[in-house]
Amino acid sequence: MLQSYVPILLMILVALGFGFFAVGMSAILGPKRPNPDKLSTYECGMQVDPDARRPFDVKYYLIAMAFLVFDVEVVFMYPWAVRFKSLGLFGFIEMLVFLGILLVGYVYIWRKGVLEWE
């Protein structure tokens, strides 16, 4: 039973070993010439505001939550599509109900103006 997991464990160990080796060799062999320009924070070519406690707009979080909801929709649709024929008419109707609920949610956030970025 455990012998079937040996190739997976070996692959994980090789991948981790390669990752640590690459990062270690980069740290050892890479150039080390720091200067103030390289050590400064870079954001889109603009000067960084020193105040990091400035609040974000709520619309940013609402769009992120809407993205997650519709991303989870795809996660539920993939297994349904794989087993579509074996589920029959009942599975099809259940997916229509699921998509209907999501459509109502999409129309709601659209009407509330969540998708309009100002």
Tell me the per-residue pLDDT of 13-54, one tens digit each, with 9 for 90 and over. 999 999 999 999 999 998 888 888 777 776 666 666 666 677
Q: What is the CATH number of the domain that holds 9?
A: 1.20.58
Number of domains making up the chain: 1
pTM listed for this prediction: 0.50
Q: Is residue 60 a contact partner of residue 118, using CB atoms and an 8 Å limit?
A: no
Q: What is the dihedral of CA 94, 79, 114, 61, to 10 degrees?
A: 130
On whether residue 94 sits in a domain, the answer given is yes
**Domain presence at residue 23:** yes
CA distance 71 to 67: 6
